[in-house]
Amino acid sequence: MRTLLVLGGGYGGLALIQELLGSHLPHDVEMVLIDRMPYQGIKTEYYALAAGTVTDYHLRIQFPVHPRLTVRYGEVGSIDLESRLVFLETGEPVAYDILAIALGCTDNYHNIPGAEKYTCSIQSFSGTRETYRRLNDVKPYGSVNIVGGGLSGVELAAELRESRPDLNISILDRGERVLSSFPAKLSQYVEEWFKVHHVETLGQISVSHVEKDAIFNGTQAIPADVTVWTGGIQPVKVVQQLELPKDRGGRIIVGSHYNVTDYPEVYVIGDCASLPFAPSAQAAGAQGEQVANIIQALWRNETPKLHKIKLKGTLGSLGKNAGFGLMGRRSVMGRVPRLLKSGVLWMSKRHFG
Ligand SMILES: Cc1cc2nc3c(=O)[nH]c(=O)nc-3n(C[C@H](O)[C@H](O)[C@H](O)COP(=O)(O)OP(=O)(O)OC[C@H]3O[C@@H](n4cnc5c(N)ncnc54)[C@H](O)[C@@H]3O)c2cc1C
């Protein structure tokens, strides 16, 4: 038997598996998925889990049950590319013929002292559960700092405002405005929403170090009961440890078939891969499907047909009743993008579930 081993059952890994299960699998191929969790966590909604407006249970999608798929639970510890072995943290080896690395990303603390130790995360399911506990245990009228005014920081701040109207919430960003990679018009709309809903936005903050009850912008202390880090991402530790060519974000450089030049049997999908667009669930899913088509073509001894991945745009929420989005070059704001975001979530639950 040949083994296709998929590491990570998130957006990218599951898209690959679903696509392959929906087509003809060669009789001598077995698929194995390894994940630390017994279900997919809907990561795009972790901000709501952290804020306490949705439950853990509602953000789970069960992995597919299929006679051609073996699901194994465990923490992937390392990958030995030479001997084609993946080691679980327990030391147990798992052999592969084809490997798909789809382990996603973790926080990037940019070597800022105290950042990892004293801030909360929304990058993993278990980390987000802990963040939920800490945010919701903040004493009445306490304060929360959110470092990073990108999509996830903005969504978390707005959701937390709806969940805890009593808290003093601040978003601190390096740039001049929140959502600095979006058009200025969109940032202004979001800044205005924050003003009306009493969320403070502080620009040009360069975090120098973090202590238990405050973050520091040089000598200026900005106190908080809890600080949440949304100030950058990088691939998970297993990928950080792989000695392979990477881009500036630490993502593995892949060829046109999304595999590694020196190890063509190794494909990299989603947030771990260096792609021409920003990491997103949408990109990971589209890429996972493409990798499935590539592997299928190679199994049939055909030349894979590649089409350019086209992304549909970005949608963000500001609590349950407002949102924003970017469709091509068009900015959309208000209730419609919020409804669209809910619709996308519903469809993705149906697609994967
Ligand atoms: C708050 C927030 C909001 C977001 N909103 C959006 C959005 O609106 N639209 C959008 O497109 N993107 C959004 N994203 C980004 C999106 O979630 C990621 O880009 C996407 O999840 C990447 O998919 P992936 O398959 O690469 O990794 P993931 O979906 O993260 O899957 C990785 C899998 O690997 C498993 N894993 C990781 N390490 C190990 C290990 N060592 N051992 C075993 N298992 C392991 C994890 O359990 C997980 O199941 C958001 C992210 C956040 C945090």
| Cα–Cα dist 64/15, whole Å | 11
For residues 40 and 177, what is the distance between their CA atoms, to the nearest angstrom?
33
The residue ranking higher by pLDDT, 41 or 345, is: 41
Q: Are 237 and 66 in contact (CB under 8 A)?
A: no
Tell me if 324 CB under 6 Å of ligand 1: no
Residue ranges of alpha helices (H) inside 137-280 are 151-163, 184-196, 237-240
Residue range 168-184, pLDDT digits in tens: 999 999 999 999 999 99
Q: Whose CA is nearest to atom 27 of ligand 1?
A: 104
pLDDT at 35: 98
With a cut of 90, say whether residue 328 has pLDDT above it: no
Taking the C-alpha atoms of residue 107 and residue 121, their distance in angstroms, rounded to an integer, is 7
- Three-state secondary structure readout of 51-74: HCCCCHHHHEEECCCCCCEEEEEC
- Contact status, residue 274 vs residue 254, Cβ threshold 8 Å: yes
Average pLDDT for 209-225: 96
**For ligand 1, atom 52, which residue shows the shortest CA distance?**
44
pTM for the model: 0.96
Q: Are the C-beta atoms of residues 100 and 6 closer than 8 Å to each other?
A: yes
Residue-wise pLDDT tens digits, 73-98: 999 999 999 999 999 999 999 999 99
- Counting residues of the chain whose pLDDT is more than 70, the rounded percentage is 99
CA dihedral 231, 222, 212, 226 (to 10 degrees): -70
Ligand 1 touching residue 14 (CB < 6 A): no
**Is it the case that residue 353 has pLDDT exceeding 70?**
no
238 lines ligand 1 (CB under 6 A): yes
Q: Is the CB of 159 under 6 A from ligand 1?
A: no
Structure tokens at 76: 């992937």
User: With the CA atoms of 239, 245, 248 and 251 taken in that order, what torsion angle do they form, in degrees rounded to the nearest 10?
Assistant: -40
Tokens 């800490």 label which residue?
134
46 lines ligand 1 (CB under 6 A): yes
Mean pLDDT of 247-266: 97
C-alpha atoms less than 13 angstroms from C-alpha of 269 in its C-beta half-sphere: 32
Residue with tokens 């598996």: 17
